[in-house]
């Protein structure tokens, strides 16, 4: 079962180090691996669309059932992309009855932003 928001490591020590504001400190291999996994998850147009839809949604969450139509994709394909985003820690998943609801993890988005700007 995927991790819930409270179970996700919000800022790994290695990632915090790599995204510090210290000048002239290169990424270690471990830091680079962590950041690369995160960036790899968002390096897909569909996943960027999903993040945008969730970010712009009322209440900051979206039911999986509401995504196939705006994305123009079949439910299994949408589920695949959602799984990747959850595994990367960018989204959380909450079961409500037979539906799965997804919400952003702002700290992980901030981490991706920091990795690109620091």
Domain count across the chain: 1
Helix (H, G, I), strand (E, B) or coil at 1: coil
CA distance 103 to 36: 22
pLDDT averaged per 10 residues, the chain (length 118): 44 49 70 85 95 94 97 97 95 96 91 75
Rounded to two decimals, the pTM is 0.75
Per-residue model confidence (pLDDT) at position 4: 47
Query: Quick check: is 6 in a domain?
Result: no
- List alpha helices for the chain, DSSP H: 13-18, 29-42, 45-56, 68-71, 75-87, 106-117
Per-residue model confidence (pLDDT) at position 118: 60
- The domain that holds 70 is classified in CATH as 1.10.10.10
Query: Quick check: is 5 in a domain?
Result: no
Domain limits for position 42: 11-19+26-117
Per-residue model confidence (pLDDT) at position 100: 97
């Amino acid at each position: 079962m995927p991790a819930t928001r409270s179970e996700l490591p919000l800022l790994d020590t290695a990632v915090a180090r790599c995204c510090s504001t210290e000048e002239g400190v290169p990424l270690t291999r471990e830091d680079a691996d962590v950041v690369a996994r995160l960036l790899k998850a968002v390096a897909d147009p569909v996943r960027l669309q999903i993040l945008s839809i969730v970010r712009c949604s009322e209440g900051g969450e979206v039911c999986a059932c509401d995504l196939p139509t705006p994305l123009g994709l079949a439910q299994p394909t949408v589920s695949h992309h959602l799984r990747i985003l959850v595994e990367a820690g960018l989204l959380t998943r909450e079961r409500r009855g037979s539906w799965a609801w997804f919400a952003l993890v702002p700290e992980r988005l901030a981490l991706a932003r920091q990795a690109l700007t620091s």
